[in-house]
Structure 1
């Protein structure tokens, strides 16, 4: 870590510690523990945040076990966001619309609250990069999973026309049907149709270190100079897709900003503090790569 880590107070963990974590499969790539434990130290909170590997068959048992063990809740990452949606007893409006949950809160009444903060975090990352979504322009989303659902809904809320492409056509069609106004572009032709879009977003794990295709790098030859290329993958920080976009002179937005901004709501719910996403926070997390 950078010298900024030495400026933080020691982490407080007592028998009364508030506990949370991140559920995923895989989960070793996640920087959420780095981020949340940084905030816990920064704000002097008695608590800890840990990685929680859980395969799809074990997901429900893992969530119920965490709840029984006294955890305050958990983040949910690939591939569990739609399963978390089905498991939650109560959903916020964004989660209802997206059909996906990335944040679980274990309430005192025993119910599980499901929140969707991915879309809001993604839009906040675009705004922080001075590349806010432009109304009446078109966005193309790669993928049709939980993150795609949340991001698509958030972009529609900003007035963008959203198109979905996915290797499994049926999943793309199901997502488009769930989001009125969205349409589908076949996976086999989306690279040729890039000239029709001003924003390209990879919402899949393609290009992720340790993922199914870490070298994922589609052709951007048909892109116009106005295209912004965003990738929600943040390990590696510059994915092959983003590196290719930069070589084409296109503006890019990496996945770290979305990670930082989507995390605030969960931290507030679990630990009782509304953390700030500032330069020191970004530097600390960047230095964990």
Structure 2
């Protein structure tokens, strides 16, 4: 007699891949959601050296992994290893979310821009991107995601300054005529008349140099946000608030960028709320 009992279904696994990875808050974030929604799944940190990345990615689907988040230094490298790359990941030049499909293919996406905009929408619901120019400080991988999402949201002009000007020039050449490049020495000037201002550098983070861009040109009512969330209130946000600006801290971007991946992997759209913020900050 043939046993018709179906094979046991294993709890889905997801991971965050980086080198190093011990600092990541993603396991705490996804672990909270798994517990909240009663999902029999696991989310684990995976320290992966760059030279082992391809080998690990190809093995993960066979080990029960349904997907992964990707962080430094692998966000650019995974694009060459993925079978399918979304348009936004290709435009940004980096991926932070992988889906291991049933057919064995690796699907790469970038949800950083989604997380950035969702964070603003949650904490500054009256924000209207089309009201005036946006100014972005920095031109690294995170800045590229911010630029893409702001242009898609309808900002009429996007000003950008970076310590290495050539990186800002590269963004202009790839993202088009709405992008205006400022010299680093003139970064304070680009804030004049800007309705949205973003620090997309690591300056101001604990253990990093301070952000030394003068904020005299900031007008009251300007939306100012910082991608740094350690500390939550950076000196940049503190000064902007003192000048009458509306401020949004950077933690929400981390939380919101995680929602599309969690939904794809575990089949549940998770909620970003105050309880989640408390747990991730704890």
TM-score using structure 2 length: 0.85
Structure 1 residues 59 and 247: alpha-carbon distance in aligned structure 2, compared to 1, 3 A threshold: farther
Residue 127 (structure 1) aligns with: 121
Stretches of structure 1 that go unaligned for 5 or more consecutive residues are: 1-13
Residue 129 of structure 2 contacts residue 150 of structure 2 at CA under 8 Å; is this kept in 1?
no
Residue 38, structure 1, aligned to residue 25, structure 2: no
What RMSD over aligned residues (CA atoms) do the two structures have, in Å?
2.5
Residue 270, structure 1, aligned to residue 265, structure 2: yes
Residue 176, structure 1, aligned to residue 136, structure 2: no
Residue 239 (structure 1) aligns with: 234
Q: How many residues align?
A: 272
Residue 143 (structure 1) aligns with: 138
Structure 1 residues 28 and 245: alpha-carbon distance in aligned structure 2, compared to 1, 3 A threshold: farther
Residue 4 (structure 1) aligns with: none
Measured after TM superposition, the shift of residue 136 of structure 1 is 4.7
Structure 1 residues 54 and 139: alpha-carbon distance in aligned structure 2, compared to 1, 3 A threshold: farther
**In structure 2, distance between residues paired with 1:268 and 1:35:** 13
Measured after TM superposition, the shift of residue 55 of structure 1 is 5.2
Residue 206 (structure 2) aligns with: 209
Task: Find the partner of 2:93 among 81, 88, 99.
Answer: 99
Residue 47 (structure 1) aligns with: 41
Secondary structure (helix, strand or coil) at the match of 2:129 reads coil
Residue 81 of structure 1 contacts residue 147 of structure 1 at CA under 8 Å; is this kept in 2?
no
Q: Choose 47-56 or 254-263, whichever is displaced more.
A: 47-56
**In structure 2, distance between residues paired with 1:203 and 1:59:** 27
TM-score using structure 1 length: 0.83
Measured after TM superposition, the shift of residue 15 of structure 1 is 9.0
Structure 1 residues 30 and 123: alpha-carbon distance in aligned structure 2, compared to 1, 3 A threshold: same
Residue 219 of structure 2 contacts residue 244 of structure 2 at CA under 8 Å; is this kept in 1?
no
Task: Find the partner of 2:190 among 168, 176, 193.
Answer: 193
**In structure 2, distance between residues paired with 1:190 and 1:26:** 32
Higher Rg of the two aligned structures: 2
Stretches of structure 2 that go unaligned for 5 or more consecutive residues are: 1-7
